[in-house]
Amino acid sequence: MDEMIKSMLDKKVWAVVGATDNKAKFGNKIYKKLKRFGYEVYPVNPMYKTVDGDVCYENLAALPKKVDCIDVVVAPERSKSVLAEAIELGIENIWFQPGTFTPEIVEASEVAGLNTIYLNCVLVELDRL
């Protein structure tokens, strides 16, 4: 899995599904940290118009460009539809934060051929760069 983590972190255009302005939530911490590390990152959350001063998008299809990687920071009930949208849009890399997936979601992602990370936290892995 380490090679896949490195490969994914080498991708420079990300979407954070579940991005939020709530500083106590991981959707905020991950979004800001990716930006701080120089990634082009798009917030996705239908509950917000902006996150950290940036335009926030309702879903992946609304993004202005195709992203290289999706970081999922929503409950497993929502992760299922995020995965379906990623597959439909041809996005090849998906990173499920701890607590955002079920074994069935991970299996569906892998069966669909997506590069899938699900046991590691992007916040921790960025610090290893």
Reply yes or no on whether the pLDDT at 1 is more than 60: no
Containing 84, the helix (H) or strand (E) segment is helix 76-89
Rounded Cα gap, residues 82 and 98, in angstroms: 15
**What was the pLDDT predicted at 129?**
83
pLDDT of 45-83, one tens digit each?
999 999 999 999 999 999 999 999 999 999 999 999 999
CATH architecture of 2-127: 3-Layer(aba) Sandwich (3.40)
Query: What is the rounded CA–CA span in Å between residue 107 and residue 60?
Result: 21
74 DSSP 8-state letter: S
118 is written with which tokens?
């699900």
Within 10 A of 11 (CB to CB), how many other CB atoms are there?
A: 16
Rg (alpha carbons) of the chain, rounded to whole number: 13
State the pLDDT at residue 125: 96
Q: pLDDT tens across 10-50, in order?
A: 999 999 999 999 999 999 999 999 999 999 999 999 999 99
* pLDDT exceeds 60 at position 4: yes
Question: Look-up: residue for tokens 């500083």?
Answer: 23
Write down the domain spans for the chain. Answer: 2-127
